[in-house]
């Protein structure tokens, strides 16, 4: 069915989501740097009254970067990769175009409302599911719209087989839909308030205590899986071969890694609840399956690295390839680190410490952030039809951000293990050696270093924003698209 | 088989969903009803305590404090008896937290007093030198949302069968009764505090957030 005539793709929605990625990236990461420094210099926590404390801002940071920055990036790439690998254009269907636009605007409004409500203290307290019930309903609406656009575009495709990237986007859509619905089952209390003038925004969870914890971490861990992992794998499966001109190393490895990841990932949620009051067998399953998870994770990562076989000199010439290869490497690092932390005896020390945010950030800054940045850089000349403004700036950004990430995770490793060991230290007489505050004061230098690392990353992000802005407005106009080999060809 | 699936997005999506949903189905369904039964004698929170719990959630105390004591000697020595599932049976949502930037609070009611919390929430480093906790002076002026706490309790009673208004359990009654009771409880807490404006507010029938929060923290045992 493949026609050789050039399809005219429509990038208007891609551009909107690209803008949102940069905007929410700046907001989310700036708050991240602020709260990092608040832990090192606590006076910073009281500059804006109740609205500026670490505790109010922390959910704003996590939601901002996960659901603002990352999701925008995912949607931007979806509308680009989707059209191109399915060989269809949004121009062909008025309906899908409307759905896509509506998807963007509802999404954008939700995230803005999320910022406002979280600052005001409307939160359910469940991590990465903090939004209160009216916002949850909005999320469901635009998530469904994304699904409509996805399956609608698939329905109009000219390419019979669906490409690996599409498998991964599909998995994100389906899994997050299931996880989000079940974890956010909540009852608005307003309807049982009798004549009490109660808040319309408040709700309580459908599940209580241990059950609530179980559902929350089944969700929480897999929100990581299906927002920070699978769509990012979708991105790298498209953009690395495109940018490097190399075909994917192995189809079989893609299949194995994909279905392996789908089957194993959900089991691993239990590793957030080791030594808690959830049934022991689930903890053990969570722990064991987390170790098994190394296989499919490394499968994808190795597939990416081997795609560059014989072409490693590209690392010297293309900063974009550097971003993507380092991203795969960070993916390997964090998918070996996670399983290590999930081993029960290691978890006994690591849980509740800064090693956990350290782990999250080598994944999110190194893998998620770098891949989204790289994909936006790749798309920029093609959607704005202008040459990238500055490769040199891109290179500087790469090194600055890489340094930032290294500072971040090394300081958090040391901080976490130090604190974990101090909590359990005894003196010769069998009493606890350190009071809690001793174990906090010792962290000051590491918190400072982490803040500096985060600041480097943020400055790099501003360079990215500037570079993108300049590309869109004053890059040299291209009369035709920069050529790259196609993974579909 | 995979080639076949990859050309049929519908079946692909079905297979995918089954593969992904499998783990949740096995893990969550069988034990669900058993896992959250209250310990014998466990009582649900009063309206004032629930209002305090809402303050705890509003200011995301759970971002830095856990409420889960693991069964290790180093934890039971520091925080008390390890946590049991039945203690959480009325917790909606659960508040275990995932990070201990500050200490665990699951049994903080056993070893901290109203006065300690009052001083500490106003200015943590003055009570614990070196503390990196933010100050929470706004809790001394903001009013606790008793009406929503009442709605919270009556939803628990109506929808989830939490035993309010039963023999030996906290009384809920109508909003008017519940409000009067919460105010009564607040007066007891305020009498142990020294902040004059808080005392004045409670005497005037208004309950600042700090009073509710302390009622909640004192109930964590």
pLDDT bracket for residue A479 (50, 70, 90): confident
- For residue A276, give the DSSP letter: S
The chain B residue lying nearest A222, using CA atoms, is B20
| Among B residues 127-166, those touching chain A with beta carbons less than 8 Å apart | 128-136, 138, 142, 145-148, 150-152, 154-156, 158-160
ipTM of the complex: 0.94
What is the model's pLDDT at position A264? 94
Q: Do B150 and A198 touch (CB under 8 A)?
A: yes
The answer to whether A110 contacts chain B (CB < 8 Å) is: no
Beta bridge partners of A188: A203
pLDDT bracket for residue A482 (50, 70, 90): confident
Is residue B149 within 8 Å of residue B213, measured between CB atoms? Answer: no
Instruction: Report, as an integer, the average pLDDT of A334-345.
Output: 96
Question: Does pLDDT of B200 surpass 60?
Answer: yes
Optimal mutation site among B14, B19, B52, interface A, most CBs of chain A within 10 A: B19
Instruction: Report, as an integer, the average pLDDT of A282-295.
Output: 94
- Indicate the residue of A55, A178, A270 with minimum beta-carbon distance to B61: A55
What is the model's pLDDT at position B37? 85
- The pLDDT tens digits for A215-261 are 999 999 988 889 999 999 999 999 999 999 999 999 999 999 999 99
- Indicate the residue of B23, B134, B150 with minimum beta-carbon distance to A42: B134
What is the model's pLDDT at position A13? 97
The chain B residue lying nearest A161, using CA atoms, is B7
Chain A CB contacts of B159 below 8 Å: 187, 192
Is residue A85 within 8 Å of residue A159, measured between CB atoms? Answer: yes
Q: Do B134 and A263 touch (CB under 8 A)?
A: no
Average pLDDT, chain A: 94
Percentage of residues of chain A with pLDDT beyond 70:
98
Chain A CB contacts of B99 below 8 Å: 352-354, 356-357
Q: Which of B98, B54, B51, B106 is nearest to B78 (CA)?
A: B106
Residues in chain A: 489
- The pLDDT tens digits for B93-151 are 999 999 999 999 999 999 999 999 999 999 999 999 999 999 999 999 999 999 999 99
Q: Is A128 left (phi over 0), alpha (psi -120 to 50) or beta?
A: left
The chain B residue lying nearest A132, using CA atoms, is B58
Q: Do B148 and A276 touch (CB under 8 A)?
A: no
- Indicate the residue of B3, B23, B88 with minimum beta-carbon distance to A209: B88
What is the model's pLDDT at position A489? 41
pTM, to two decimals: 0.95
Rounding to the nearest 10 degrees, give the CA dihedral for residues B210, B216, B220, B221: 100
What is the model's pLDDT at position A78? 98
Is residue B56 within 8 Å of residue A406, measured between CB atoms? Answer: no
Instruction: Enumerate residues 6+ apart whose C-beta is below 8 A from B166.
Output: none
Query: Which tokens go with A248?
Result: 């994917």
Question: Does pLDDT of A488 surpass 80?
Answer: no
| Among B residues 12-71, those touching chain A with beta carbons less than 8 Å apart | 12-13, 16-17, 19-24, 27-28, 31-32, 35-36, 54, 57-64, 66, 68, 70-71
Instruction: Report, as an integer, the average pLDDT of A443-462.
Output: 98
Q: Do B94 and A151 touch (CB under 8 A)?
A: no
For the domain spanning B47-219, the CATH number is 1.10.760.10
Question: Does pLDDT of B34 surpass 50?
Answer: yes
The answer to whether A421 contacts chain B (CB < 8 Å) is: no
Chain B CB contacts of A189 below 8 Å: 148, 151-152, 154-155
Chain B CB contacts of A125 below 8 Å: 57, 60, 62, 93, 95
pLDDT bracket for residue A5 (50, 70, 90): low
Chain A CB contacts of B2 below 8 Å: 255
What is the model's pLDDT at position A484? 66
Domain definitions of chain B by residue range:
1-35, 47-219
- The distance of Cα A86 from the centroid of its chain, to the nearest Å, equals 24
What is the model's pLDDT at position A4? 52
Chain B CB contacts of A352 below 8 Å: 66, 97-100
Residue with tokens 């009063």: B46
**Torsion sign, CA atoms A444, A449, A455, A461:** negative
- The phi, psi pair for A488, rounded to 5°, reads -85, -20
Optimal mutation site among A47, A50, A148, A281, interface B, most CBs of chain B within 10 A: A50
Is residue B178 within 8 Å of residue B153, measured between CB atoms? Answer: yes
Instruction: Report, as an integer, the average pLDDT of B71-91.
Output: 95
- The distance of Cα A106 from the centroid of its chain, to the nearest Å, equals 20
Interface contacts (A, B; CB < 8 Å):
260
- Indicate the residue of A55, A202, A209 with minimum beta-carbon distance to B91: A209
pLDDT bracket for residue A1 (50, 70, 90): very low
3-class SS letters over A202-247:
CEEECCCHHHHHHHHHHHHHHHHHHHHHHHHHHHHHHHHHHHHCCC
Instruction: Report, as an integer, the average pLDDT of B43-60.
Output: 97
- The pLDDT tens digits for A166-182 are 999 999 999 999 999 99
The answer to whether B174 contacts chain A (CB < 8 Å) is: yes
Least confident of A460-464, A469-473, B34-38: B34-38
Question: Does pLDDT of A485 surpass 60?
Answer: no
Chain B CB contacts of A122 below 8 Å: 58
- Percent helix, percent strand, percent coil in chain B, to nearest 5: 55, 0, 45
Question: Does pLDDT of A18 surpass 50?
Answer: yes
Instruction: Report, as an integer, the average pLDDT of A122-147.
Output: 96
Q: Do A194 and B150 touch (CB under 8 A)?
A: yes
Optimal mutation site among A119, A136, A209, A361, interface B, most CBs of chain B within 10 A: A209
Query: Which tokens go with B203?
Result: 């005497």
Q: Do B35 and A211 touch (CB under 8 A)?
A: yes
- The pLDDT tens digits for A145-154 are 999 999 999 9
Greater model confidence, A1 or A313: A313
3-state secondary structure at position A122 = coil
Residue with tokens 């960070």: A330
Task: Give the closest-approach CA distance of A40 to chain B in angstroms.
Answer: 8
- The pLDDT tens digits for A34-53 are 999 999 999 999 999 999 99
Q: Do B92 and A205 touch (CB under 8 A)?
A: yes
Q: Do B36 and A278 touch (CB under 8 A)?
A: no
Q: Do B94 and A210 touch (CB under 8 A)?
A: yes
Instruction: Report, as an integer, the average pLDDT of B48-63.
Output: 97
Task: Give the closest-approach CA distance of A355 to chain B in angstroms.
Answer: 10
Optimal mutation site among B56, B71, B80, B100, interface A, most CBs of chain A within 10 A: B100
Query: Which tokens go with A271?
Result: 């590793």
What is the model's pLDDT at position A478? 87
Chain A CB contacts of B129 below 8 Å: 437
| Among A residues 191-220, those touching chain B with beta carbons less than 8 Å apart | 191-199, 202, 204-205, 207-216, 218
Q: Do B77 and A432 touch (CB under 8 A)?
A: yes
Greater model confidence, B34 or A89: A89
The chain B residue lying nearest A147, using CA atoms, is B13
Query: Which tokens go with B32?
Result: 């669900």
């Amino acid at each position: 069915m493949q026609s050789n005539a050039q399809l005219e793709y429509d990038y208007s929605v891609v551009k909107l989501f690209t803008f949102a990625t940069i905007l929410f990236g700046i907001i989310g990461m700036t708050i991240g740097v602020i709260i990092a420094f608040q832990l090192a210099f606590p006076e910073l926590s009281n500059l804006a009254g109740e609205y500026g404390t670490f505790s109010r801002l922390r959910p704003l940071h996590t939601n901002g970067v996960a659901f603002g920055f990352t999701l925008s990036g995912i949607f931007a790439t979806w509308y680009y990769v989707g059209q191109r690998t399915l060989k269809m254009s949004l121009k062909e269907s008025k309906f899908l175009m409307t759905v896509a636009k509506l998807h963007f605007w509802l999404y954008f409004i939700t995230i803005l409302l999320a910022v406002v409500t979280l600052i005001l203290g409307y939160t359910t307290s469940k991590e990465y599911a903090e939004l209160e019930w009216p916002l949850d309903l909005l999320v469901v609406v635009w998530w469904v719209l994304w699904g409509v656009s996805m399956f609608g575009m698939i329905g109009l495709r000219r390419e019979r087989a669906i490409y690996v990237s599409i498998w991964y986007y599909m998995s994100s859509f389906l899994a997050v839909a299931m996880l989000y619905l079940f974890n956010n089952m909540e009852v608005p209390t307003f309807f049982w308030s009798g004549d009490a003038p109660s808040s319309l925004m408040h709700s309580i969870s459908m599940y209580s205590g241990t059950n609530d914890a179980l559902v929350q971490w089944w969700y929480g861990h897999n929100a990581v899986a299906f927002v920070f992992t699978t769509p990012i794998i979708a991105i790298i499966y498209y953009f690395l071969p495109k940018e490097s001109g190399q075909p994917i190393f192995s189809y079989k490895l893609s299949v194995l890694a994909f279905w392996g990841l789908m089957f194993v990932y959900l089991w691993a949620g239990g590793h957030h609840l080791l030594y808690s009051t959830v049934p022991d067998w689930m903890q053990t399953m969570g722990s064991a399956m987390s170790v098994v998870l190394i296989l499919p994770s490394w499968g994808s990562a190795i597939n990416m690295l081997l795609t560059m076989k014989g072409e490693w000199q590209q690392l010297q010439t293309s900063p974009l390839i550097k971003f993507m290869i380092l991203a795969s490497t960070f993916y390997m690092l964090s998918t070996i680190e996670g399983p290590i932390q999930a081993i029960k005896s290691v978890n006994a020390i690591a849980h509740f410490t800064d090693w956990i945010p350290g782990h999250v950030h080598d994944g999110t800054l190194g893998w998620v952030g770098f891949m989204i940045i790289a994909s936006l850089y790749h798309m920029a000349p093609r959607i704005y039809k202008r040459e990238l403004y500055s490769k040199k700036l891109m290179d500087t950004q790469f090194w600055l951000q890489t340094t930032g990430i290294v500072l971040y995770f090394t300081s958090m490793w040391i901080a976490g293990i130090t604190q974990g060991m101090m909590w359990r230290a005894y003196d010769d007489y069998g009493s606890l050696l350190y009071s809690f505050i001793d174990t906090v004061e010792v962290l000051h230098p590491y918190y400072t270093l982490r803040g500096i690392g985060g600041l480097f990353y943020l400055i790099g992000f501003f360079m990215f924003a500037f570079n993108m802005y300049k590309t869109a407005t004053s890059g040299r106009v291209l009369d035709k698209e920069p050529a790259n080999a196609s993974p579909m060809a | 088989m995979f080639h076949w699936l990859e050309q049929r997005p519908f079946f692909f999506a079905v297979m995918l969903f089954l593969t992904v949903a499998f783990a949740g189905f096995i893990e969550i369904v069988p034990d669900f009803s058993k896992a959250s039964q209250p310990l014998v004698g466990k009582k649900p929170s009063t309206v004032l305590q629930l209002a305090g719990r809402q303050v705890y959630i509003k200011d995301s105390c759970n971002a830095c404090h856990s409420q889960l004591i693991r069964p290790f000697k180093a934890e039971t020595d520091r925080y008390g008896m390890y946590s049991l599932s039945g203690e959480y049976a009325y917790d909606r949502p659960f508040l275990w937290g995932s990070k201990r930037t500050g200490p665990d609070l699951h049994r903080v009611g056993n070893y901290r007093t109203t006065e300690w919390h009052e001083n500490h929430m106003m200015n943590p480093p003055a009570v614990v030198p070196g503390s990196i906790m933010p100050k929470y002076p706004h809790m001394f002026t903001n009013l606790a949302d008793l009406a929503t706490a009442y709605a919270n309790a009556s939803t628990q009673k109506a929808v989830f069968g939490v035993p309010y208004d039963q023999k030996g359990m906290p009384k809920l009654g109508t909003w008017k009764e519940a409000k009067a009771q919460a105010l009564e409880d607040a007066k007891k807490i305020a009498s142990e505090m020294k902040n004059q404006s808080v005392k004045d507010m409670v005497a005037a029938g208004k309950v600042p957030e700090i009073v509710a929060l302390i009622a909640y923290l004192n109930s964590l045992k």
